[in-house]
């Protein structure tokens, strides 16, 4: 309604200005007409009275002329007629000294009109023909109170008419403004709020041939476009998530392939034990309690092999991402168990310090994938063996998506390997970037790990020096402040 009120205000203001100017012009014109009528009446009265005075003066003398002038006065209306002397020795009252035009009459000038010094009367001086050698004039005076009353009446009428027109225009403008502007604008605002709230399928029915109707149609078209864009973005988002999950599954399977040789070596010893003990029992070379002891050994080795295979299958199995409370120390233990064959083959020892571990809210399978990727890189970075140190720290870092600090749990993985130079360190998280030989790495492990940690609201920090090893800090937000 603000637009409608503004339109009504400007319309009424402009109309008031026009009406005010028209009223002023009307009052001025009425005043001019009134003044003209008064002067014309004075001229007519002066001409008639002057002819009668000259005739009486000639026939009966100045006394008869004065008596006629006295009889012509009307005290009730305030109109007075007097004889004034305009030359020395002429009969009549002395002329007013404050009227300079008297000198023009004395020189034979025409009649004239003027207002009194106090502005309350209109004076008319009408010269009479010379009688007995003297010059005399008629002095007609009339109060201007009637003129003032007439002007007041005219002004009141003009103001009343202006106010009445303003009131009528205000009512009409208000109603038309609400109907033509206010109501459509309210509908447009509600439509904009619905679109802002996500109700993109809402449509506005505003069939008008003007700009507001055009705006309504454009808003409906915008809703259609936004709805189509939202569906397209949702489809692209789902496709992107599927692609990321496939990429992570491929990286997981690639890691399983790397671990296959170590697992085969790990299974070789228990298989030999099972084969030897089972052969002795089957050939009857052992009997009684010794045979039962061999069977128990076979069962224990089978359980050991089942655990190894189950860990490998659990790691390789595709699971739907799901965040739940999890213990990072248990995830590290599981990663160590999974990588132990690979570590033993490379003469690498795991050193785990669980003292600073704290519960996290994360997807356990994805977080274990991150740990396995970094730990595999650490094992490969120590071709001559060494120790892979894993510990936990509580640190404070700025949230990546905001300029505020928050508590994080840092899973620190430090190796004693060859390290990286600055050029390699700058590209360590680039997809498909690797320094390994062909067939030993695809360059996806750290890239996938970095994306997983970012989706959990964290980040990965890396420090490395050539021949001094590397240190990876996996920073994950804690669910509450320490």
Q: How many CB atoms lie within 10 A of CB 177?
A: 21
Higher-confidence residue of 140 and 413: namely 413
**Is the pLDDT score of 335 beyond 90?**
no
**Is the pLDDT score of 316 beyond 60?**
no
Strands (E), 35-171: 80-85, 93-94, 112-115, 121-127, 136-143
What was the pLDDT predicted at 311? Answer: 55
Residues 6+ apart with CB under 8 A from 462: 425, 428, 470, 471, 472, 473
Instruction: Give the DSSP letter string of 274-303.
Output: HHHHHHHHHHTSS-HHHHHHHHHHHHHHHH
Q: From 330, 406, 408, 418, select the one nearest 371 (Cα to Cα).
A: 330
What was the pLDDT predicted at 277? Answer: 65
Q: Do 129 and 153 meet the contact criterion of CB atoms below 8 Å apart?
A: no
**Is the pLDDT score of 170 beyond 70?**
yes
Q: Which long-range contacts (CB under 8 A, 24 or more apart) does 307-315 make?
A: 308/263, 308/266, 308/267, 308/341, 309/263, 309/267, 311/337, 311/338, 312/256, 312/259, 312/263, 312/338, 315/252, 315/255, 315/256, 315/368, 315/369, 315/372
What was the pLDDT predicted at 366? Answer: 83
Q: Do 191 and 216 meet the contact criterion of CB atoms below 8 Å apart?
A: yes
Residues 6+ apart with CB under 8 A from 16: 162, 166
Phi-psi region of 144 (alpha: psi -120 to 50; beta: other; left: phi over 0): alpha
Phi-psi region of 116 (alpha: psi -120 to 50; beta: other; left: phi over 0): beta
Report how far Cα 41 is from the mean position of its chain's Cα atoms: 74
What was the pLDDT predicted at 482? Answer: 40
**Is the pLDDT score of 115 beyond 90?**
no
Residues 6+ apart with CB under 8 A from 468: 419
Q: Could you give the C-alpha distances from 363 to 252, 356, 366, 461, in angstroms and in order?
A: 15, 20, 5, 20
β-strand 80-85 against 136-143: which pairing, if any?
antiparallel
What was the pLDDT predicted at 96? Answer: 75
Q: How many alpha carbons lie under 13 Å from residue 6 in its C-beta half-sphere?
A: 4
**Is the pLDDT score of 228 beyond 60?**
yes
**Is the pLDDT score of 328 beyond 60?**
yes
Mean pLDDT of the chain: 77
Mean pLDDT confidence for 207-228: 76
What are the structure tokens assigned to 31, written together? 């005043």
> What gap in Å lies between CA 205 and CA 199, rounded to an integer?
15
What was the pLDDT predicted at 98? Answer: 64
Q: At what angle do helices 445-455 and 211-283 cross, to 10 degrees?
A: 120
**Is the pLDDT score of 318 beyond 60?**
no
Higher-confidence residue of 109 and 310: namely 109
> What gap in Å lies between CA 57 and CA 63, rounded to an integer?
8
Q: Do 482 and 394 meet the contact criterion of CB atoms below 8 Å apart?
A: yes
Q: Which stretch of 191-205, 312-326, 360-374, 450-464 has the lowest confidence by average pLDDT?
A: 312-326
Q: Do 81 and 140 meet the contact criterion of CB atoms below 8 Å apart?
A: yes
**Is the pLDDT score of 178 beyond 60?**
yes
What was the pLDDT predicted at 439? Answer: 46
**Bridge partners, 178 (sequence order):** none
Q: What is the pLDDT of residues 11-65, one digit of tens each?
A: 778 877 887 788 788 878 878 888 888 888 888 888 888 888 778 777 877 777 7
What was the pLDDT predicted at 17? Answer: 81
Mean pLDDT confidence for 336-351: 86
Position 481 confidence tier, pLDDT thresholds 50, 70, 90: very low
Mean pLDDT confidence for 88-92: 70
Higher-confidence residue of 186 and 464: namely 464
Q: Do 370 and 360 meet the contact criterion of CB atoms below 8 Å apart?
A: no
Mean pLDDT confidence for 80-90: 77
Q: Which stretch of 60-74, 96-110, 302-316, 445-459 has the lowest confidence by average pLDDT?
A: 302-316
Q: Do 230 and 238 meet the contact criterion of CB atoms below 8 Å apart?
A: no
What are the structure tokens assigned to 281, written together? 């029992």
Position 259 confidence tier, pLDDT thresholds 50, 70, 90: low
If you search the block for the tokens 């399977």, which residue do you land on? 253
Q: Where are the alpha helices (DSSP H) in 317-444?
A: 328-345, 364-380, 422-426
Position 364 confidence tier, pLDDT thresholds 50, 70, 90: confident
Q: Which helix (H) or strand (E) holds 463?
A: strand 459-465
**Is the pLDDT score of 134 beyond 60?**
yes
**Is the pLDDT score of 468 beyond 80?**
yes
Domains defined for the chain, CATH in brackets: 36-144 (3.30.450.20), 222-318 (1.10.287.130), 320-482 (3.30.565.10)
What was the pLDDT predicted at 131? Answer: 59
Q: What is the pLDDT of residues 19-32, one digit of tens each?
A: 778 878 887 887 88
Q: Which stretch of 42-51, 240-249, 262-271, 386-395 has the lowest confidence by average pLDDT?
A: 262-271
Q: Which helix (H) or strand (E) holds 257?
A: helix 211-283
**Is the pLDDT score of 226 beyond 60?**
yes
Q: Could you give the C-alpha distances from 235 to 248, 318, 402, 442, in angstroms and in order?
A: 20, 22, 28, 29
**Is the pLDDT score of 445 beyond 60?**
yes
Mean pLDDT confidence for 324-352: 88
């Amino acid at each position: 309604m603000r637009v409608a009120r503004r339109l009504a205000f400007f319309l009424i203001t402009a109309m008031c200005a026009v009406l005010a100017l028209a009223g002023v012009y009307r009052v001025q014109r009425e005043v001019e007409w009134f003044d003209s009528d008064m002067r014309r009446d004075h001229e007519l009265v002066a001409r008639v009275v002057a002819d009668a005075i000259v005739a009486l003066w000639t026939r009966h003398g100045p006394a008869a002329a004065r008596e006629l002038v006295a009889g012509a006065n009307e005290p009730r209306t305030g109109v007075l007629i007097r004889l004034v002397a305009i030359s020395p020795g002429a009969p009549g009252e002395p002329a007013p000294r404050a009227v300079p035009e008297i000198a023009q009459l004395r020189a034979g000038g025409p009649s004239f009109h003027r207002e009194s010094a106090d502005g309350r009367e209109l004076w008319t001086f009408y010269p009479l023909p010379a009688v007995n050698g003297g010059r005399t004039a008629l002095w007609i005076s009339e109060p201007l109170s009637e003129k003032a009353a007439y002007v007041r009446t005219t002004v009141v009428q003009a103001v009343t008419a202006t106010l009445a027109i303003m009131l009528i225009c205000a009512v009409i403008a208000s109603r038309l403004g609400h109907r033509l502007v206010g109501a459509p604008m309210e509908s447009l605002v509600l439509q904009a709020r619905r679109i802002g709230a996500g109700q993109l399928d809402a449509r506005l029915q505003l069939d008008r041939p003007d700009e507001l109707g055009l705006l309504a149609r454009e808003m409906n078209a915008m809703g259609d476009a936004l709805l189509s864009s939202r569906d397209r973005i949702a489809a692209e988002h789902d496709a992107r998530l599927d692609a990321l999950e496939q990429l992570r599954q491929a990286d997981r399977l690639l890691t399983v392939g790397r671990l296959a040789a170590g697992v085969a070596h790990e299974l070789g010893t228990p298989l030999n034990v099972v084969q030897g003990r089972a052969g002795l029992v089957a050939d009857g070379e052992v009997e009684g309690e010794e045979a039962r002891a061999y069977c128990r050994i076979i069962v224990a080795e089978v359980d050991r092999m089942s655990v190894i295979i189950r860990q490998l299958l659990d790691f390789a199995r595709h699971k739907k991402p799901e965040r739940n409370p999890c213990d990072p120390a248990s995830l590290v233990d599981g990663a160590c168990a999974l990588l132990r064959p690979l570590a033993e083959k490379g003469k690498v020892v795991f050193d785990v310090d669980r003292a600073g571990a704290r519960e996290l809210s994360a997807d356990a399978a994805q977080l274990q994938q991150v740990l396995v990727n970094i730990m595999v890189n650490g094992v490969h970075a120590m071709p001559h063996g060494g120790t892979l140190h894993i510990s936990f720290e509580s640190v404070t870092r700025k949230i990546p998506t905001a300029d505020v600090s928050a508590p994080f749990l840092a899973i620190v993985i430090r190796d004693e390997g060859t390290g990286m130079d600055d050029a390699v360190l700058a590209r360590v998280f680039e997809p498909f970037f690797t320094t390994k030989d062909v067939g030993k790495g695809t360059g996806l492990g750290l890239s996938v790990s970095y994306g997983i940690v970012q989706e959990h609201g964290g980040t990965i920090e890396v420090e490395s020096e050539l021949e001094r090893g590397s240190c990876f800090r996996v920073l994950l937000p804690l669910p509450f402040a320490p």
